[in-house]
Amino acid sequence: MTLIVTGAFNPDELFNLLKGVQSYAAENIFTPAQRLIRDLPNNVTIEDYLNGETYQILFGFELNELTGKDLLVAKALPLIFYYEFYRYDHLTNRPLDYNISLFNLTDRFYLVFTYRDCQNQYSLDLNTWHQQNLVRFYKYLETKNFDSFLERLSLQLSKDSKIIISDPPALNNYYTNILFEPSKLTVKDLKTIRSLKSKDISNLVKKYLQGKPYQKVVIKAH
């Protein structure tokens, strides 16, 4: 067990209280994690109740072990659309609100693009449109100058660093992420974020996304 306590408290009092907590050293009862994505077929379509949406489509990429700049770019990627606000495809009159999330299981990282549609029923045309959007997204990430995004990200992390000094819940959250959530961007990444260039984003796309296999899951409204 790991206990993270932040705020105004007396550490000695806390340690005394913790003496009463029975500690036990168990054997490692965890079995190696299953490689969920690899065990599934490449395309999965299921039907389920959705909360107001007509369908959801997910594209999952297995990024394997990520370190250094690659990991940092992957952590920053989910924030790019957030920074650029709500993009739109004017030709088809459809929003391009893909939600990107990075998560990890054991030492492996997975990048998932999720789209939730509230207007159209899922069709082969839409499937093609989504696959084209992925290609469009690769090109966009490869060619666009992201200096202003990276600058804004640095500024935001620098602001966060000031907040966590005075806010115990934010500080607690920070330590939780550092210890248990390697896919979360934190103030600790600030120095490396400042050294990132648009080219690093382009490199990640070439290395892990472009032309690489992905897992597609479609959830149609029941």
Partner 1 sequence: MKRIKSYYRHCFKTTILIILILVQLPFLAQAEPIIVVENKISTEQRNDGLTIVISDQGSKRQEIQYFTLILKTGFAHDPVGKSGLTNLTNEIIKYLFSYTNALYVDYQSYADYSAFHFAVALSDFNQFCNQLDQIIRLDALLHYDLCNELIRYHLNQPKTPGLKAFSQLYSLVYGPNHPYTSIFYPNYEQLDINEVNKWFRQIYKPNNLIIASSVKLPQEFLRRPAGRDLTEAVSLSDISPTAVDAGFELKWTPVHDNMATVYLGFETAKFSEEGVLATNLLQKYLDQRLWKLIREDNGLSYDPEVYYQFTGSSSAPMLLVAFHSLTENTGAAINLVLGEFKKIAAEGIPEAEVQKIMERERKQRKLMGKDLRSTIKTAALYGLTGQKWLIDHEDYFTRLTNETKMVPQVITTGLARLKISVAGPEATGQYLEDVTLETK
| Binding residues for partner 1 (CB under 8 A) | 49, 51-53, 85-88, 95, 97, 116, 118-119, 159-160, 162-163, 165-167, 221-222
Given the complex with partner 1, which of 28 and 119 has the nearer CB atom? Answer: 119
CB of 99 to partner 1, least distance (A): 13
What number of other Cβ atoms are within 10 A of residue 217's Cβ?
Answer: 18
Q: How far is residue 203 from each of residues 74, 123, 190, 196, measured CA to CA in Å?
A: 11, 33, 20, 11
Given the complex with partner 1, which of 42 and 158 has the nearer CB atom? Answer: 158
Q: Where are the beta strands (DSSP E) in the chain?
A: 43-48, 55-64, 88-89, 94-95, 99-105, 108-117, 215-221
Q: How far is residue 158 from each of residues 123, 149, 153, 162, 171, measured CA to CA in Å?
A: 45, 14, 8, 7, 14
Cα angle for residues 44, 45, 50 (degrees, 5° grid)? 130
CB of 41 to partner 1, least distance (A): 26
3-class SS of residue 95: strand
CB of 49 to partner 1, least distance (A): 5
Given the complex with partner 1, which of 71 and 157 has the nearer CB atom? Answer: 157
Given the complex with partner 1, which of 28 and 166 has the nearer CB atom? Answer: 166
Closest CA to 192 of 83, 75, 107, 112: 75
Given the complex with partner 1, which of 95 and 182 has the nearer CB atom? Answer: 95
CB of 116 to partner 1, least distance (A): 7
Given the complex with partner 1, which of 61 and 115 has the nearer CB atom? Answer: 115
d(CA 126, CA 160): 39
CB of 46 to partner 1, least distance (A): 14
- Which DSSP letter does residue 188 get? G
3-class SS of residue 57: strand
CB of 85 to partner 1, least distance (A): 5
